[in-house]
C-alpha cells in the first residue's frame, strides 16, 4: 500500500448529518483495472485507528480481490489522521473543536467521491472490517441500489448498548491523563493512551486466544510481555483527539438514524438488497455473532458465516492463515 499514490478529494461546504457545514479532505487510494462499464469496483473502507496502509492483507494477485481483475478504492475514514481529522484540520475545527463525524457522513462523502471523480454509480463489492464493516452495512442500506455484494467482518449495523459502554470506558481511560486538558493538550497525553490501550487489550482478543496462549505465536512470552511490548505504546503514533473522535463516531453508529429510515432499524436492514455475508468472530467481545444473527432476520439476501477463530475481534483482520483463508472463500463466493 505504501508504494501507491495517496490522493485527496476536497469536499467543499459538506453538510454533515448534524447539520453543520464544513469543508473536508477525503484521502484515498484507487488502483487496479477499471473495466469499460465500471462494473468491477470494490470499495474497502478503513477501520478504527487504521489507515490505507493496513488494508493490504486482502489484496493480492492470488486472492479474490485481485487488482488485475478489479478496481479497488480504499477511502480513509474521517478522524483517522489521514483524511480530515482533529489533528490536521484548520484552527477553527482543530482538536476538541472538530465536529462529530458519523458513519453516514463517511459513506455520503465516499459516494460523492465515486460520482464526481470516477463517475462510478455502482459497486461490485463493499467490504470492511470493524468500523469498515459498519461503513459497508451503511452503504448497503442507504445506497441499496448501488451495492451488488456486501461483506461486513466483525461489524454491526448498530452499536449495541454493551459496546457503547465499553467504548465509554476506553474514552474515560484516555481522558484521565492530567495532560488531557479537555483536548487542549500541549503534548500528547501518552499516559492516557497507555491506560486506554491496557483496557482495550483485554477486549481485542477473545478468551480463547489467551487460554490457548496464542500470544506466544506472535512472539510474546506471556501476557505481561504482550502488554509491555505491544499494548503500552500501540496508540502513541496516533493523535489523542483523533482516537476520541473515532470513538464518538463508533458510539453514534446506527444505519437507521437518518432522513431515509427515521430510526426504523428493521426497515433500514430490510432495504439491503445486496448479496450479504456477515462474518463475526466466534468470540468477538464487542461484535458477538448473536448480534449479527438478529440483524439477519431482516436481511433477505444475507447469511451468517462465523469465523471459527481464537483471535476474537482480530478474526476479521486475517491474523492467521486459517482466518484469512476463511475470509477469502467468502469473498470468492460473492465475486468470482
pLDDT, residue 206, reads 84
Tell me if 30 sits within 8 A of 118, measured CB to CB: yes
Considering the domain architecture, whether residues 222 and 300 belong to the same structural domain is answered as no
User: What CATH number does residue 214 fall under?
Assistant: 1.10.1740
- Residue 88 domain flag: yes
Number of domains in the chain: 2
Please list, in sequence order, all residues whose beta carbon lies within 8 angstroms of the beta carbon of residue 265, skipping any fewer than 6 positions away: 157, 158, 254, 255, 256
Last residue of a domain, one of 245, 279, 314: 245
Residue span of the structural domain in which 282 resides: 7-160+254-335
pLDDT, residue 1, reads 84
83, 130, 141, 256: the active-site residue? 130
**Distance (Å, whole) CA 245 – CA 106:** 13
Q: Using the structure block, give the residue that is written with the C-alpha cell 463517475.
A: 119
Considering the domain architecture, whether residues 148 and 259 belong to the same structural domain is answered as yes
Considering the domain architecture, whether residues 178 and 307 belong to the same structural domain is answered as no
177, 239, 284, 323: the active-site residue? 284
Whether 284 sits among the annotated catalytic residues: the reply is yes
Residues of the chain with pLDDT below 50 are none
- Residue 43 domain flag: yes
Please list, in sequence order, all residues whose beta carbon lies within 8 angstroms of the beta carbon of residue 211, skipping any fewer than 6 positions away: none
End-to-end CA distance of the chain: 23
Angle (nearest 5°) at CA 65 between 62 and 69: 85
Considering the domain architecture, whether residues 132 and 266 belong to the same structural domain is answered as yes
52, 205, 253, 313: the active-site residue? 313
pLDDT by residue (tens digit) across 281-321? Answer: 999 999 999 999 999 999 999 999 999 999 999 999 999 99
Last residue of a domain, one of 222, 245, 268: 245
Rg over CA atoms, the chain: 19
pLDDT, residue 36, reads 97
pLDDT, residue 219, reads 95
Bridge partners of residue 148, in order along the sequence: none
- Residue 2 domain flag: no
Considering the domain architecture, whether residues 199 and 315 belong to the same structural domain is answered as no
Considering the domain architecture, whether residues 27 and 106 belong to the same structural domain is answered as yes
Considering the domain architecture, whether residues 151 and 169 belong to the same structural domain is answered as no
Considering the domain architecture, whether residues 186 and 154 belong to the same structural domain is answered as no
pLDDT, residue 259, reads 96
pLDDT by residue (tens digit) across 77-121? Answer: 999 999 999 999 999 999 999 999 999 999 999 999 999 999 999
Closest CA to 25 of 119, 73, 88: 88
Last residue of a domain, one of 215, 245, 275: 245
Amino acid at each position: 500500500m505504501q508504494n501507491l499514490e495517496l490522493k485527496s478529494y476536497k469536499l467543499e461546504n459538506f453538510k454533515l448529518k448534524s447539520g453543520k457545514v464544513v469543508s473536508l479532505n477525503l484521502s484515498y487510494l484507487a488502483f487496479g483495472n477499471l473495466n469499460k462499464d465500471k462494473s468491477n469496483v470494490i470499495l474497502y473502507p478503513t477501520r478504527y485507528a487504521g489507515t490505507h496502509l493496513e488494508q493490504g492483507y486482502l489484496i493480492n494477485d492470488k486472492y479474490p480481490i485481485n487488482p488485475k481483475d478489479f478496481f479497488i478504492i480504499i477511502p480513509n475514514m474521517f478522524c483517522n489522521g489521514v483524511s480530515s481529522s482533529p489533528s490536521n484540520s484548520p484552527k477553527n475545527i482543530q482538536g476538541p473543536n472538530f465536529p462529530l463525524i458519523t458513519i453516514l457522513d463517511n459513506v455520503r462523502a465516499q459516494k460523492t467521491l465515486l460520482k464526481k471523480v470516477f463517475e462510478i454509480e455502482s459497486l461490485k463489492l463493499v467490504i470492511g472490517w470493524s468500523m469498515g464493516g459498519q461503513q459497508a452495512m451503511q452503504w448497503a442500506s442507504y445506497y441499496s441500489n448501488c451495492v451488488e455484494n456486501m461483506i461486513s467482518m466483525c461489524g454491526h449495523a448498530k452499536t449495541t448498548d454493551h459496546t457503547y459502554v465499553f467504548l465509554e470506558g476506553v474514552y474515560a481511560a484516555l481522558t484521565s491523563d492530567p495532560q488531557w486538558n479537555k483536548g487542549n493538550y500541549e503534548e500528547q497525553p501518552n499516559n492516557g493512551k497507555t491506560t486506554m490501550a491496557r483496557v482495550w487489550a483485554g477486549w481485542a482478543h477473545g478468551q480463547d486466544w489467551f487460554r490457548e496462549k496464542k500470544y506466544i505465536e506472535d512472539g510474546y512470552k506471556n501476557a505481561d510481555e504482550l502488554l509491555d511490548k505491544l499494548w503500552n505504546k500501540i496508540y502513541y503514533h496516533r493523535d489523542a483527539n483523533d482516537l476520541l473522535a473515532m470513538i464518538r463516531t463508533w458510539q453514534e453508529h446506527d444505519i437507521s438514524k437518518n432522513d431515509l429510515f427515521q430510526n426504523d432499524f428493521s426497515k433500514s436492514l430490510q432495504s439491503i438488497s445486496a448479496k450479504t455475508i456477515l462474518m463475526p468472530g466466534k468470540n468477538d467481545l464487542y461484535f458477538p455473532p448473536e448480534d449479527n444473527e438478529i440483524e439477519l432476520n431482516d436481511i433477505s439476501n444475507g447469511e451468517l458465516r462465523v469465523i471459527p477463530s481464537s483471535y476474537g475481534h482480530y478474526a476479521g483482520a486475517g491474523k492467521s492463515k486459517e482466518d484469512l483463508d476463511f475470509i477469502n472463500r467468502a469473498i470468492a463466493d460473492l465475486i468470482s
